[in-house]
Amino acid sequence: MTLTRPAPGRTTGAAVASPLEAAATVSRRPAILCAATLVATGSAGAALLVAANRAAEWDTGRQFALFWAGMLVFTLPAVYWLVRRGTGTRLRVAVLTAYAGFTYLPKLLRTPDGPLYHDEFAHWRQAREILLDGRLFEQNPIVKVVGDFPGLHSAVAAISGLTGVSIWHGALLVLMVAHLLVVLGVAVLAEEIWQDARIAAVATIVYSLNSSFLFFDTQFGYESLAIPLLVWTLVALHRAMRGPAGRARLGWSAVTVMLSAATIATHHLTALGLLGVMLILCAVATARALRRINPRAVTWTAWALTAAATVLVVSYLWVVAPRTAGYLDPYLARALDQFAGMAGEGGGGGRTLFRESIAPWWERAAAFGAQGVAGLGMLAAALWLRRRREGDAVSRNGALTMFVLGSCYFPAALLILTPSGAEGARRSWAFSYLGIALVVAPVVIWLLDRAPFYSGTALLAVCAVVMVGNTAAGMNPSYRFPGPPVFGSDTRSAIPEVSAASAWLRSTQGRDLRIVADRYSGLIFGSFGGQRPVTGSVSFPTYDLYLAQPGRQPSPRLIEQLSSWRFTYLIVDRRMAREVPEIQIYFETNEPVPHSDKPAFTLGQLTKFDRTPWTIKIYDSGNIAIYRFDFASLRKAAR
């Protein structure tokens, strides 16, 4: 059976514009052996991952060793089958698919039932709002710009609505498909550049070692869908640049523009990252065109599509999502300030890596080692690119572009030393590691071809170290493993008591209520509770309510804001007076709250609302109290 009918007057070979793939493995024996190996190691790996989660739940401390044993017992044999010279095209595709499926398992086991990471609550709420109200672009109280980028949550809501699965299961389906698309996309992009399936497989493996691959870019967050779209946009762009002039180039250009549009409708940073990569490609193509080593059509195609993508991105950010600049700008500005502070005399403003982390010493050591490996890999890639000038103009442009992109990894890594830059640095690695992966891969294959046994063993060991190190650097243990409740952790603060309070408020008072809350209560009340929490900002400092000493009235301006904007409820989590938040945030990143090893609040500051006539305490469960505002009683005194 064919998927398309034969073109009249054409032979099969002539119709296939792309080079034919290598013939499939003649013998079925390797495929059967590979399948048996991977089924066995996959089952063992899955069992070890379950054991790791269980060890973490019971706080035995063995979760790290079990987790990595589980990951490596599958991934190392998979890597072997991927880079093996005799592996056929289809077998390689099958192993890549299995690799994508297995590497989604840690996140699946971490969050099987519902949202857990910070941004997941925001997207979950947004998807539910679409199902309830049928509208897009509703403002999100947890991440204020999420609503402006409906790509992911509208897809999830649509699948949930069409199939009847829950929002979470719909999200898991989309995310698993997106994860597979990243894996296959990197392989296809690498093959576009290097025309070699083994190099493509290695590039995919190297990319999968980046710090966001296992947990961050598998979450119910917009980048998880946007990054595969970025990769496939680059695939289409390369084909447009390479394609024969005329309708084929026009067709691939249309695919590029379509996927660029989807990227910007999904995630702001990825769209900007895509523009960045396209601009690097244009710069490389232009430099080569000036030296007359690039066909003019290649350069013009790159510029035209970059211009089209720029128009799309700028128009979207200008017309549909004008709040995005205001949302992103403070992070960058604060990061630069903190970086300047670190460089200055005081040396302040920085952060200590792995501070109070429970990650074992070998994970931390691997995290530093992984940066060294990346540096060495890029050095080797630079030498390789200088000596070997292989491939057509498009391949060479692509390789040089990826080298420049990969080089951006190192300056971004410095930002990890600042509290505000750390988030951005982590997010940028998913882009810059694409560059590293695509230029280091041919060096790896060259090494393997020289001394297969020794270099193969050494490279597997290096692969293991980099996977361990990058994952440790990118995600803290409370995001990776379950465990006892921890106050001030996005993933472990949500004890049943908070969920019960949120459910009570929703069932008795309704949804879409404007409430004042801390970061962690806000996540639950804003998502499952369906409310509109605010956690404070410079212009609307709701945290001043909590900070006010007993007997002191909050500022009239704040009361005026709360009253005129119809805020009706106040949520107080008394754990703020007993514990220090794990991530050192009570309300938001820029809060004027003292941070030390002692809680920033006294119990008196949090229970003062029990004695103020303008706050009626309607619910209390020990840790969580809910008050209703009665601003008309503000100046009244009670006996």
Least separation in angstroms between CB 325 and other proteins: 21
**CA-closest candidate to residue 153, choices 266, 231, 264, 261:** 266
Between 21 and 588, name the residue whose CB sits nearer to other proteins: 21
In DSSP notation, 23-69 reads PPPSSSHHHHHHHHHHHHHHHHHHHHHHHHHHHHHTT-S-HHHHHHH
Q: In degrees rounded to 5, what are phi and psi of residue 365?
A: -65, -40
The single residue among 346, 484, 551, 556 that binds other proteins, judged by CB under 8 A, is 484
Q: Smaller CB distance to other proteins: residue 116 or 417?
A: 116
Instruction: Return the ∠ at Cα 439 (arms to 436 and 444), rounded to 5°.
Output: 100
Among 229, 271, 472, 513, binds other proteins (CB under 8 A): 229
- 15 binds other proteins per the rule CB under 8 A: yes
Nearer to other proteins, 579 or 620 (CB): 620
Q: Which is nearer to other proteins, 139 or 163 (CB)?
A: 163
CB of 420 to other proteins, least distance (A): 30
Task: Quote the DSSP letter at residue 554.
Answer: P
Residue 121 CB, shortest distance to other proteins, in Å, is: 19
Helices and strands (H and E) in the chain: how many: 24, 5
Based on the shown chain and the rule CB under 8 A, indicate whether residue 382 belongs to the binding site for other proteins: no
185 binds other proteins (CB under 8 A): yes
* 494: exposed, middle or buried (Cβ count in 10 Å: 0-12, 13-18, 19+): buried
Instruction: Find the shortest distance in angstroms from Cβ 492 to other proteins.
Output: 11
Binding range to other proteins, per CB under 8 A, among 211-219, 240-248, 377-385, 424-432: 240-248
Of the two residues 117 and 232, which places its CB atom closer to other proteins in the complex?
A: 232
CB atoms within 10 A of CB 30: 16
H/E stretch holding 533: strand 532-534
158 in contact with other proteins (CB under 8 A): yes
State how far the Cα of 212 lies from the Cα of 219, in Å rounded to an integer.
10
Reference 110, options 216, 269, 246; nearest CA is: 216
Q: Does 332 bind other proteins (CB under 8 A)?
A: no
Can residue 236 be called a binding residue for other proteins (CB under 8 A)? yes
Q: Decide: is 467 part of the binding site for other proteins (CB under 8 A).
A: no
CA distance 211 to 207: 9
Kindly state the tokens that stand for 435: 């560059």
**Helical residues (DSSP H) of 408-518, grouped into ranges:** 409-414, 419-450, 452-474, 477-480, 496-509
Q: Collapsing DSSP states into helix, strand and coil, what is residue 324?
A: helix
Q: Does 472 bind other proteins (CB under 8 A)?
A: no
Q: Which is nearer to other proteins, 214 or 236 (CB)?
A: 236
Among 69, 165, 328, 342, binds other proteins (CB under 8 A): 165
Q: How far is the CB of 639 from other proteins (least distance, A)?
A: 4
CB of 324 to other proteins, least distance (A): 17
3-state SS class at 534: strand
Beta bridge partners of 514: 532
- Number of shown-chain residues binding other proteins (CB under 8 A): 128
**By CB under 8 A, residue 4 contacts other proteins:** yes
Only one of the segments 129-137, 340-348, 352-360, 467-475 lies at the binding site for other proteins (rule: CB under 8 A); that segment is 129-137
114 lines the binding site for other proteins (CB under 8 A) = no
Instruction: Give the Cα separation of 614 and 632 in Å (integer).
Output: 7
Terminus-to-terminus CA distance in the chain, angstroms? 86
CB of 27 to other proteins, least distance (A): 16
Choices 159-167, 422-430, 447-455, 585-593; region in contact with other proteins by CB under 8 A: 159-167
> Closest by alpha carbon to 592, among 522, 519, 543, 540?
543
Q: Tell me the two tokens of residue 420.
A: 């505000």
* Residue 122 touching other proteins (CB under 8 A): no
Which amino acid would we find at residue 262?
A: A
- DSSP 3-state of 536: coil
Per-residue x/- track, 578-617, other proteins (CB under 8 A): --------------------------------xx-x--xx
Parallel/antiparallel/unpaired status of strands 514-516 and 532-534? parallel
> Which one of residues 171, 174, 436, 440 is an interface residue with other proteins (CB under 8 A)?
174
CB of 7 or CB of 332, closer to other proteins: 7
495-524: contacts with other proteins (CB under 8 A): 495-497, 500-501, 504, 508-509
**Which residues, in sequence order, are CB contacts of 371 under 8 Å at separation 6+?**
413, 469
Question: 518: number of CA atoms within 13 Å, CB side?
Answer: 28
76 vs 577: CA distance, rounded Å: 47
When binding is defined by CB under 8 A, the residue of 120, 148, 191, 591 that contacts other proteins is: 191
297 binds other proteins (CB under 8 A): no
Rule CB under 8 A: which of 133-152 touch other proteins? Answer: 133-137, 150-152
Total residue length of the chain:
639
Q: What is the footprint of other proteins within residues 68-107 (CB under 8 A)?
A: 89-91, 93-95, 97-98, 100-102, 104-105
Q: Which is nearer to other proteins, 52 or 302 (CB)?
A: 52
**Nearer residue to other proteins within complex by CB, 52 or 466:** 52
Supply the minimum distance, in Å, between the C-beta of residue 155 and other proteins.
Answer: 4
Task: Name the strand (E) or helix (H) holding 515.
Answer: strand 514-516
Residues 25-54 that bind other proteins (CB under 8 A): 38-39, 42-43, 46-47, 49-50, 53-54
- For position 154 contacting other proteins by CB under 8 A, the verdict is yes
| Subset of 523-562 contacting other proteins (CB under 8 A) | none
